[in-house]
Amino acid sequence: MQADFWVTDANAGLLTDAYELTMLQAYWREQMIGPAAFSLYMRRLPKSRNYLIACGLDDVLRFLERLHFDADAIDYLSTLGRFDRAFLEWLAGLRFTGSVWAMPEGTPAFAEEPLLEVEASLPEAQLLETFVMNQVHFQTMAASKGARVVHAAAGRQVVDFGLRRIHGADAGLKAARAFHIAGVHATSNVLAGKAYGVPIAGTMAHSYVQAHETELDAFRAFARAWPETILLVDTYDTVRGVRNVAALARELGDEFRVRGIRLDSGDLHALAVEARAILDEAGLRDVRIFASGGLDEHEIERLLSRGAPIDAFGVGSLMGVSADAPYLDSVYKLVEYSGQGRTKLAPKKRILPGRKQVFRMESNGESSGDVIARAEETLPGRALLVHVMHNGRRTQAGTESLEAARSRAQQELARLPARVRAITPAEPQYPTRLSIELERYWMELSANVGESAPGDGA
């Protein structure tokens, strides 16, 4: 068997919770292969989020198009000694042949609204649960955080610096894309540039300065190698670092083309003010000030509200791991089997039964509220769930460019009420409700489940 130190198309089918496979063998034995529908949604939003930005769909569809268990995977499962040989043979032939409806990437989403719904045979629809949640949860969390940081930066550029402390290699790659959809301008992550075309940015580290005899030596050498660079000025003393930039400008005269300086520690407001004054006095009005180090949307808003002369922000760990809300209450729930709606009664964990649609209402160009409805309803407003996969293949709507998703996010965010776009908790929250039909269906099923199902066999 091959080594599996990386997740790839070849082994992604095994990146699943073991219970998906134990359930699959049970379904296979019972021949419970009727049509099922599952909804992926967030039960509620973190207190610090007024909205989410749907993200991760492209990876989900790619996964579903390629989902399979190769000989190596089947061999491994057989070594566990718990699966039937005939089941494993059936599993080896399994492909995803169902349909997916989803909110396109970049769509603002709220609690209980399906980000995606899957319609397929029960085993197929069950099997994909873990992987699909892993991608949609993380990417939606990242895009949602990124949109807040971009909002706080109020038009100034934001660069993703998160790779070194983000949770693993896949998160680093996918988050750079999610942040870009959310409006982040560029990333430090070179592979994300190659994979997705996200603009990449990066200049120098403290080590470069340290490795030279003096800071000015380092600045001089770096500006020779990269004339239009941004120089990191806080290795020894920020103010003296800025003076060294001014000294280099005097030294190089017309050849000085350095675009900016980066502050990475200390009181960023005070240092930006002082740096701006030194630069201006040296005639370096075009040299921009870039700030990084422990930034998030709140710190950026605080800096800008006090008038800090900062032109761009590098944002790392706090955005990369969505530090104030590092997970969402995401679930993937069975809502229909064999034509019957399904629900669940665990406390505070209701499941809205049946396939659904979400309608976003607008007035005067502003989103005024969402209605979660049954799939077959037609209500006022825009229908947000789109048919993105059919018979296991992407539809036209399931194939879109990164730029299309990024534009959507920008446009849709602009339509949200200002209090919802803000980084402080919205009061009142963005209104969402169930349609009358869906409310009635949920009540009806809950009552039935409560009466007929459990305990009565005892």
Per CB under 8 A, contacts with its own copies among 263-322 are 264-266, 317-318, 320-322
- Distance from CA of residue 87 to its chain's centroid? 36
346 belongs to the binding site for its own copies (CB under 8 A): yes
Collapse the DSSP code of 100 into the 3-class scheme (helix H, G, I; strand E, B; otherwise coil) and give the result. Answer: strand
Q: Which is nearer to its own copies, 242 or 385 (by Cβ)? A: 242
Residue 19 CB, nearest distance to its own copies (Å)?
Answer: 4
17 belongs to the binding site for its own copies (CB under 8 A): yes
List b or e across 217-255, with b for residues whose CB sees 16 or more CB atoms inside 10 angstroms.
Answer: ebbbebbeeeeebbbbbbbeebeebbbbbbbbbeeeeee
330 belongs to the binding site for its own copies (CB under 8 A): yes
Question: What is the CB neighbour count within 10 angstroms for residue 74?
Answer: 17
Query: Footprint of its own copies on residues 159-188 (CB under 8 A)?
Result: 161, 163-175, 188
Q: Which of 48, 68, 202, 422 is in the footprint of its own copies by CB under 8 A? A: 202
Query: Footprint of its own copies on residues 35-54 (CB under 8 A)?
Result: 36, 38
Q: Which of 70, 337, 368, 439 is in the footprint of its own copies by CB under 8 A? A: 337
Query: Footprint of its own copies on residues 228-257 (CB under 8 A)?
Result: 229, 234-238, 240-241, 243-244, 246-247
Q: Which is nearer to its own copies, 18 or 436 (by Cβ)? A: 18
Residues 6+ apart with CB under 8 A from 414: none
Query: Footprint of its own copies on residues 94-123 (CB under 8 A)?
Result: 122
Q: DSSP string covering 110-125, please?
A: -TT--SEEEEEEHHHH
Q: Which of 101, 110, 131, 359 is in the footprint of its own copies by CB under 8 A? A: 131
Exposed/middle/buried for residue 378 (C-beta within 10 Å: 0-12, 13-18, 19+) = exposed
81 belongs to the binding site for its own copies (CB under 8 A): no
Residue 213 CB, nearest distance to its own copies (Å)?
Answer: 8
78 belongs to the binding site for its own copies (CB under 8 A): no
Please identify which residue in the block is written with the tokens 């790839």.
8
What is the rounded (10 degree) CA torsion for 388, 391, 392, 396?
-30
Q: Which is nearer to its own copies, 7 or 434 (by Cβ)? A: 7
Query: Footprint of its own copies on residues 411-440 (CB under 8 A)?
Result: none
Best CA proximity match to 39, nearest among 450, 384, 417, 351: 351
Q: Which is nearer to its own copies, 294 or 425 (by Cβ)? A: 294
Residue 133 CB, nearest distance to its own copies (Å)?
Answer: 4
Q: Which of 224, 285, 306, 393 is in the footprint of its own copies by CB under 8 A? A: 224
Best CA proximity match to 181, nearest among 215, 214, 147: 147
Q: Which is nearer to its own copies, 171 or 291 (by Cβ)? A: 171
Which element (helix H / strand E) includes 245? helix 238-252
349 belongs to the binding site for its own copies (CB under 8 A): yes
Residue 300 contacts residue 272 (beta carbons within 8 Å): no
Which element (helix H / strand E) includes 40? strand 35-42
